[in-house]
Structure 1
Amino acid sequence: MATMQFDRITVDPGTLGGKPCIRGLRISVGMLVQMIAAGKTVETILDEYPYLEDADIRQALAYSAALAENEYHLELRPTA
């Protein structure tokens, strides 16, 4: 993945305990990703949260992908 600047993602210890949020709003990146994973469309999310923009959701997904791409986990149980 190309290096991307996440200018819509903010982290503030005083907002949602320091979780990455969208533009300082009380909407976390994780919340948006969970909504998409649960089957909500971008259009539905934008209707439910009119202060969000399409670019906010796209950047939340890209931010999550970048985190997942750069995170490693130890194998905790043997595979079959």
Structure 2
Amino acid sequence: MKKEELLSRITVDPKILVGKPTIRGLRISVEQIIKALANNVSAKELLEEYPELEPEDIQAVLLYAAELISEERVFQLK
């Protein structure tokens, strides 16, 4: 799946979870998935726990996070 297709799975709607980035408009936030993965919940477990998720959704979450981080700049203050 192409980068643009993956990123299109991440949606922002002020009416859903107060505008937090979610997966395909579901009430599953990008933050939830990243925190779960960081706490050793496997992708397989996430897919079992949230049957509406697809493997590409997890891939999209990771790509979305990587894109945000790649734009981050750190400047030294004097």
- Structures share a fold, TM > 0.5? yes
Q: Which TM class, normalised by the smaller chain length?
A: 0.7 to 0.9
Instruction: Give the CA deviation at 1:31.
Output: 0.7
Instruction: Give the CA deviation at 1:4.
Output: 2.8
CA RMSD, 1 decimal: 1.6
Q: Which has the higher contact order (CA 8 A, sep 6+)?
A: 2
| % same residue | 45
Larger proportion of helix: 2
Q: For this pair of structures, how many residues does the alignment match?
A: 74
- Gapped regions of structure 1 (runs ≥ 5): none
Larger radius of gyration: 1
Q: Is 1:4 equivalent to 2:3 in the alignment?
A: yes
Q: Is 1:16 equivalent to 2:20 in the alignment?
A: no
TM-score of the pair, normalised by structure 2: 0.86
TM-score of the pair, normalised by structure 1: 0.84
